[in-house]
Structure 1
Amino acid sequence: MRIEKLEQGEVFVFGSNASGAHGGGAALFAYRRFGAVWGQSEGLQGQSYGIDTMSGLAVFEEQTRRFVAFAHGHPELVFLVTEVGCGIAGYEPDQVAGFFEGTPPNVVLPTSFVAILEG
């Protein structure tokens, strides 16, 4: 699924870096189109939500757990998750899809993540 625009209440979830320098990939797209804040690496930013995928798998997993908790607490929003970590960060879906275990129904995962989570 390629996300080109968002409806009211939709949030674009993208991979960031620790400094919040949204200079490439989905992060740059989030910065240009959906309100990502330069210098903010994690969390809700306009109609986008950043997860640091560049500081190692442990940081990535912890931030994803916080994202899942945030999504549970905000059922009024629909979170459209890109293949977070599978672009510039260089991970494969089978390395990171499990981080999204337990996402609520208002989180739309990429088909590659769903296939792995559903076995």
Structure 2
Amino acid sequence: MRIDSLRPGEVFVFGSNASGAHGGGAARFAYDRFGAVWGQSEGLQGQSYGIDTMSGLRVFEEQAARFLAFAASHPDLRFLVTEVGCGIAGYRPEQVAGFFRGAPANVVLPESFVAVLDASGSA
């Protein structure tokens, strides 16, 4: 699923870096289209939500967990997750999809992540 536009209440979830320099990939798209804030790496920014995928898997996993908690506490919003970490950061869905295991119903994961979670029996 390619995300080109958002409806009210939808949030574009993208991979960022520690400095919040949204210069390429989905981060640049979030900056150009959905209100991502230059210099903010993590959290809700306009109609987007950043997760630092460039500071190692441990940081990525911690921020993904915080994202899932945020999403659970905001059931009025619908979060559309890109293949975070699978572009410029260079990870494969098999390495990172598990970080989103147990996502609440208002989180829409990319098909590649769903396939990994389904294959592991823990979608």
Q: Same fold (TM over 0.5)?
A: yes
Hey, what does 1:54 align to over in structure 2?
54
Three-state SS of the structure 1 residue aligned to 2:65 is helix
* Aligned equivalent of 1:73: 73
Q: Report sequence identity in percent.
A: 81
SS in 2 for 1:12: strand
- Describe the SS at the equivalent of 1:29: helix
- One-letter amino acid of the counterpart of residue 52, structure 2: D
Looking at structure 2, the residues matched to 66 and 101 of structure 1 have their Cα atoms a distance apart, in angstroms, of 13
The aligned residue for residue 91 of structure 2 is: 91
User: What pairs with 1:14-53 in structure 2 (closer than 5 Å)?
Assistant: 14-53=14-53
TM-score (norm 1): 0.99
| 1:95-110 correspondence to structure 2 within 5 Å | 95-110=95-110
Amino acid at match of 1:65: A
- What's the CA shift string for 1:36-88, capped at 9, x where partnerless? 00000000000000000000000000000000000000000000000000000
| Paired residue total | 119
**For the residues of structure 2 that align with 1:29 and 1:112, how far apart are their CA atoms?**
20
For structure 1, the residue ranges without an aligned partner over 5 or more in a row are none
4+ runs deviating over 2 angstroms: none
RMSD: 0.3
Amino acid at match of 2:59: V
Structure 2's unaligned 5+ residue stretches are none
The residue type equivalent to 2:14 in the other structure is F
SS in structure 2 of the partner of residue 112 of structure 1: helix
Q: Which residue of 1 aligns with 2:2?
A: 2
